[in-house]
Structure 1
Amino acid sequence: MEQIRLQKYLAEVGIASRRKSEELIRDGFVKVNGITVTEMGHRVTGEEAIEVNGKIISGSQKKIYVMLNKPVGYISTAKDQFGRPSVVELIKGISERIYPVGRLDYDTSGLIILSNDGEFTYKMTHPKHEIKKVYNALIHGVPNQEELRAVKNGLRIEDYITSKAGIKILDIEGDKCWVEIAIHEGKNRQVRKMCDAIGHPVIKLKRIAIGSLTLGDLKEGNWRYLNKKELEALNI
């Protein structure tokens, strides 16, 4: 099993930001397998019994994996400084603490996974695993071949160049069109910034697939457990 730093794990499972997680560790509020850990270099897999302020957040819990069709207007973190509703609030009837696996923008809808498995979260979100994410976007205008080629080859956005991506036009609606965009990265608002970079801003954005997992007929705002076949296809 791959190991990551404890503070990174706490941040990934939605306990707190990386900096705040470091403070929790430094101040003695975190235990791993019953032992208080105060060193920043401590590494975990997520299989350990990890406690924060006396509450177990991993280890002995039953592993939970669910998919949600996120509506616009929900954040994909456990807490928000502005008091906006979280995707976690849409999951009813599960007593275990679960958290979003990766993020989906407040104003973007579609597929998001929630779990309490830290190793699963690491595998699904670490860039080296290159998990493909597919989006349908309604954008202003219709990209020409040169603009489509630019997306496919990589675009300069702020201080980085995107990896090669997939893009195809699905439908043209007057002065707007629907496109399908597939990326392996997950930088902040990346799809929107890519569309801005070619002069075709996003009007609506929905994620329809993560790796082999697709939304199917799951209605917006609804969720369900991932089945064994789906988990196996994700190599979990």
Structure 2
Amino acid sequence: MERIQKLISRAGAASRREAERLIKEGRVSLNGQVVTELGIQADETDEIAIDGVAIGKEKAKLYFLLNKPRGYLSTVKDDRGRKTVVDLLAEVHEYIYPIGRLDYDTEGLLLLTNDGELMNGLLHPRYEVKKTYLAKVKGMVTPEKLQKFRSGIKLEDGMTAPAEARLVEYNEQGNWSKVKVVIHEGRNRQVRRMFSAVGHDVTALKRIAFGGLTLEGVSRGKYRELTADEVAKLKHIAGKQGAING
């Protein structure tokens, strides 16, 4: 017997976090009875349905890398009809969802999958999965500002973990700077808030790497399926297997 949200996640019908939200909203039923408590358990012989539609049993896992453009929400659907990242994978008919989020105005590397266990591992703070961003900001970013990134910056939700930060480009007038930042936390709008805390507004932000993967060969708005080796490496860094080939 396992919790319903775990069975939903393993079937690829929703991430575990989203499944918990669906349960709380009364949209999940077990053998025809609506459930709203997260502790309810079931097994593979029970029928679990979302919005009256029975979920399938465990499905083949899918893994995609998307180069997200600006102007898309990092969610499956939006009740206000706004464009979501799933719209960019129209040829993929199975239910998939993004691993973490990129802001509406942030572009770059985003992973999508129906593997809830891998998603939970990659987002868990314990594994410190690195995420690399290239930020263009107003003004000249000084070495002293970069050192604050490396030491940790106090935000309203606490100190950030030490980050890597390197100035990669700037104009002679000091009107703007480009900085590469590497973090392993996943706070909401974290990179933008870190720059704001040291006096710089972000005008463009792009995630260029995640967990060792890059955007090489994937143009803006396009996607590709991950290779078996890439999936194995992600599972390794997410603590889901003891060795890359294990």
- Output the TM-score relative to the length of structure 1: 0.84
Distance 2:170 2:57 in 1: 50
1:50 to partner: Cα distance? 5.5
Quote the residue 1:98 is aligned against.
96
Quote the residue 1:181 is aligned against.
181
Aligned-pair RMSD on alpha carbons? 2.9
> Following superposition of structure 1 onto structure 2, how do residues 11-50 of structure 1 map, counting pairs within 5 Å?
12=15, 15=18, 19-24=21-26, 29-31=28-30, 38-42=36-40
Single out whichever of 84-93 and 53-62 deviates more from structure 2.
53-62
Corresponding letter in the other structure for 2:82: R
Quote the residue 1:151 is aligned against.
149
Quote the residue 2:5 is aligned against.
6
Return closer, same or farther for 1:13/1:221 CA change in 2, 3 Å cut-off: farther
Distance 1:142 1:117 in 2: 42
Quote the residue 2:164 is aligned against.
166
Check conservation: 1:49, 1:60, Cα contact below 8 A.
Answer: no
Measured against aligned partners, the alpha-carbon deviations of 1:114-159 in whole angstroms (never above 9, x if no partner) come to 1111101111112222111000011112222221111111111113
1:58 to partner: Cα distance? 6.6
Return closer, same or farther for 1:208/1:41 CA change in 2, 3 Å cut-off: same
Single out whichever of 74-83 and 112-121 deviates more from structure 2.
74-83
Quote the residue 2:105 is aligned against.
107
Distance 1:186 1:41 in 2: 27
1:31 to partner: Cα distance? 3.7
Bigger radius of gyration = 2
Check conservation: 1:137, 1:206, Cα contact below 8 A.
Answer: yes
Mapped pair 1:126 → 2:124: yes
Return closer, same or farther for 1:11/1:128 CA change in 2, 3 Å cut-off: farther
The alignment partner of 2:206 has SS state of strand
Distance 1:112 1:31 in 2: 33
Check conservation: 1:14, 1:100, Cα contact below 8 A.
Answer: no
Mapped pair 1:210 → 2:197: no
Return closer, same or farther for 1:187/1:52 CA change in 2, 3 Å cut-off: same
Distance 1:167 1:98 in 2: 33
Single out whichever of 197-206 and 35-44 deviates more from structure 2.
35-44
Measured against aligned partners, the alpha-carbon deviations of 1:49-77 in whole angstroms (never above 9, x if no partner) come to 85413435574222110010000000001
Distance 1:62 1:125 in 2: 21
Distance 1:209 1:12 in 2: 22
Question: What are structure 2's unaligned runs of at least 5 residues?
Answer: 241-246
Question: What are structure 1's unaligned runs of at least 5 residues?
Answer: none
1:227 to partner: Cα distance? 0.4
Corresponding letter in the other structure for 2:138: H
Measured against aligned partners, the alpha-carbon deviations of 1:70-97 in whole angstroms (never above 9, x if no partner) come to 0000000112243210000000222211
Distance 2:126 2:76 in 1: 25
Quote the residue 1:192 is aligned against.
192
Report sequence identity in percent. 40
Return closer, same or farther for 1:5/1:154 CA change in 2, 3 Å cut-off: farther
Pick from 61, 68, 71 the counterpart of residue 69 of structure 2: 71
Number of residue-to-residue matches in the alignment: 226
Corresponding letter in the other structure for 2:121: K
Check conservation: 1:61, 1:96, Cα contact below 8 A.
Answer: no
Check conservation: 2:62, 2:113, Cα contact below 8 A.
Answer: yes
Quote the residue 1:232 is aligned against.
232
Corresponding letter in the other structure for 1:177: S
Check conservation: 1:57, 1:97, Cα contact below 8 A.
Answer: no
Single out whichever of 6-15 and 179-188 deviates more from structure 2.
6-15
